[in-house]
Structure 1
Amino acid sequence: MESKQGFQREMKSRHVVMLSLGGVIGTGLFLSSGYTIQQAGPIGTILSYLVGALVVYLVMLCLGELAVHMPETGAFHSYAAQYIGGGTGYTVAWLYWLTWTVALGSEFTAAGMLMQRWFPFVSVWIWSGLFAAVIFILNILTVKFFAESEFWFALVKVLAIVLFIILGAAAIVGFIPMESGANASLFANFTNEGIFPNGVFAILMTMLAVNFAFSGTELIGIAAGETENPAQTIPKAIRTTLIRLILFFVGSIFILSALLPASEAGVLESPFVAVLERIGVPYAADLMNFVILTAILSAANSGLYASSRMLWSLSDKRMISPIFAKLNKNGVPLHAVILSMLGGALALLSSIIAPDTVYVVLVSISGLAVVIVWMSISASQFLFRKKYVKEGKSIKNLRYRTPFYPVVPILAFVLCLASLIGIAFDPTQRVALYCGIPFIALCYGSYYLTKRVKKRGISNVAESKSY
């Protein structure tokens, strides 16, 4: 069965859940979590992840109502265009597309570097190109094949996290012996260097990073148009995804904090590897290297899917060339996938040729995009419900309703806005505003300029016909 847009509705609930997890669980957890613990301290990091989870939960409650009522591919871009304004929808779409294409470049580079551990004499670029080809092929085959591949990609890292939490918990209670004397001071690691070793402000900075770490949950909305029975699948996927994310992220951080002193956590190696080696797991570094590689490829798979569907949505709304709205016989927007992959290749190139100029600008803009997308989802739901009631319709007719309206969308919007304001006070992240604001202005300007040109062309055609 095909959707109204021509897409094949072949994604089941397990596919959508794993697609979302695949976009979220990646190097941010496996590699960067050590740096986060070092900066904010164990307790501060756990608090910031809990607050981040709350923000995501509120935003996803808003997305649930919109996606069930209007299940379409490229969802939140369409919602923003319909309920906030065409310029906002256009800008949100390009911001989100850029986020994932930049991510593709960094993920293919990281995957190639990870392979150096096992094949040090093979160039990084050979592996990067090979992985890019694999991800491209997975995305141009049927949606069902893509969904299955992403399911198994994501399952590997989910099982790895579950196993890590089980082993860590066993070490904490003493079932698994660790280094001499380590078990006696496990919980002392939480307060050895003070509750907030670098002050409360460090937690605020960590919370900003946590928002980005949770990005990817909104992929549930992107996939709405290709989901089997959206009214049942979307709410279930939102609920189960968020529960698992909180368990995985907070559970992992708790185990890491208990078994690894904050002063020893860092970015030189994965904190997961350090803890597994302390527990005495053989070949810990190789095992985790494989898991991180799988995580990166999973995120790249989700990213190419998301960026191509966003281009399709722009084209379907006649905001860019109609060529990107064409679907091949497998129901895949091939031209949109190709352009997104080319964008990822350019990002990959800029990360090597101009890492301190072009690539920094791209990363800064994409960093802002996630929070702006979440703000657009919250605002869209607020305005949708307001319009829905104003038209005399009963909210009882909505198959999924955002609870505690209007508190949930307003609180979600305010918390996201607070994180953007916080960026202005951090010198290391302020570049995101310097680069992001002009890019947003450029998108709005481009939209309204194009709109004016189209309107003028139509009026000229009408005048010529009158003669």
Structure 2
Amino acid sequence: MLPRVVKSFILRVILFYTLPILIICGLIPWNNLSEQTSPFVQVLTSAGMTGAAHLMNFILITAVLSAANSGIYGMTRMLHSMAIGGEAPSGLARLSSKGVPVRSLQWVAVLLITGSLIAYFAQDGLFRLLMAVPGFVVLLVAVLCLSVIAVLFLFDPQNRISIAVCLAVLGILTVWSILRFKKTGSPKLTS
């Protein structure tokens, strides 16, 4: 069931997002798009089809709700599968009498409500917040990967001397800065 959902999701992304963006960019220059209205509505209005613009708004809202529904389904089933595999709390594996992973669905609902509240109360900072989360994850993954690479370097005898020198210099600088700033306090910035 889940592979079919993933395939249909990819098809929906191509049909409802990629192709329309190509059409919009072909009809209206990117720097003439307004932030106040949907690009789809703007294209239809500029073509003199204001009634079709209202229909497009309805279609867009329906598409967003459909995407949210797919996301809820996928996330609920993913949490349930992770709980069965021991990668999430075991309570999330419980099913209702009709086979619905109710606990997983409740967690997804809490996350959606929390996200909606953040979007409502922090509209100005929402984009920054949404970009900070993946940015932090990428930074964390990069640090972990570099740490693994540094440890793997230790297994090569040719790298041991250079790593030992680097660690010694790092240790000396750390001890020196601790002793220096412990006596004098925090460093003073000069302009």
TM range (shorter): 0.5 to 0.7
Q: Aligned residues, how many? A: 144
Q: CA deviation at 1:362?
A: 4.9
Q: Secondary structure at the match of 2:71?
A: helix
Q: How many angstroms apart in 2 are the aligned matches of 1:248 and 1:359?
A: 22
Q: Which one of 82, 100, 103 corresponds to residue 314 of structure 1?
A: 82
Unaligned runs of 5+ in 2: 144-191
> Which residue of structure 2 aligns with residue 18 of structure 1?
8
Q: Which one of 271, 276, 281 corresponds to residue 44 of structure 2?
A: 276
User: 1:316–1:322: 8 Å Cα contact kept in structure 2?
Assistant: yes
Q: CA deviation at 1:252?
A: 2.6
Where in structure 2 are the equivalents of 1:53-132 lying within 5 Å? Answer: none
Q: How many angstroms apart in 2 are the aligned matches of 1:356 and 1:282?
A: 30
Q: Which one of 330, 337, 342 corresponds to residue 105 of structure 2?
A: 337
> Which residue of structure 1 aligns with residue 96 of structure 2?
328
Q: Which amino acid aligns with 1:18?
A: S
Q: How many angstroms apart in 2 are the aligned matches of 1:279 and 1:355?
A: 32
- TM-score, normalised relative to structure 1: 0.27
C-alpha spacing 1:313/1:251, structure 2 compared with 1 (3 Å): closer
- Give yes or no for the alignment of 1:297 onto 2:33: no
Q: Which amino acid aligns with 2:64?
A: I
Q: How many angstroms apart in 2 are the aligned matches of 1:256 and 1:357?
A: 28
Q: Secondary structure at the match of 2:108?
A: helix
Q: Secondary structure at the match of 2:37?
A: coil
C-alpha spacing 1:12/1:262, structure 2 compared with 1 (3 Å): closer
User: 1:347–1:359: 8 Å Cα contact kept in structure 2?
Assistant: no
Unaligned runs of 5+ in 1: 1-8, 25-244, 369-431, 442-467
Q: CA deviation at 1:298?
A: 0.8
> Which residue of structure 2 aligns with residue 437 of structure 1?
139
| Identical pairs, percent | 31
User: 1:308–1:340: 8 Å Cα contact kept in structure 2?
Assistant: yes
Q: How many angstroms apart in 2 are the aligned matches of 1:362 and 1:440?
A: 19
Could you list the per-position Cα deviations for residues 393-436 of structure 1 after superposition, in whole angstroms to 9, with x for gaps in the alignment? xxxxxxxxxxxxxxxxxxxxxxxxxxxxxxxxxxxxxxx24x65
User: 1:315–1:323: 8 Å Cα contact kept in structure 2?
Assistant: yes
> Which residue of structure 1 aligns with residue 115 of structure 2?
347
- Give yes or no for the alignment of 1:263 onto 2:31: yes
- TM-score, normalised relative to structure 2: 0.59
Q: How many angstroms apart in 2 are the aligned matches of 1:331 and 1:306?
A: 15
Q: How many angstroms apart in 1 are the aligned matches of 2:3 and 2:119?
A: 36
Q: CA deviation at 1:297?
A: 0.3
Q: Secondary structure at the match of 2:24?
A: helix
> Which residue of structure 2 aligns with residue 419 of structure 1?
none
C-alpha spacing 1:329/1:275, structure 2 compared with 1 (3 Å): same
Q: How many angstroms apart in 1 are the aligned matches of 2:126 and 2:16?
A: 34
Report the RMSD for the aligned CA atoms in angstroms.
Answer: 3.4
Q: Which amino acid aligns with 1:257?
A: C
Q: Which amino acid aligns with 1:252?
A: P
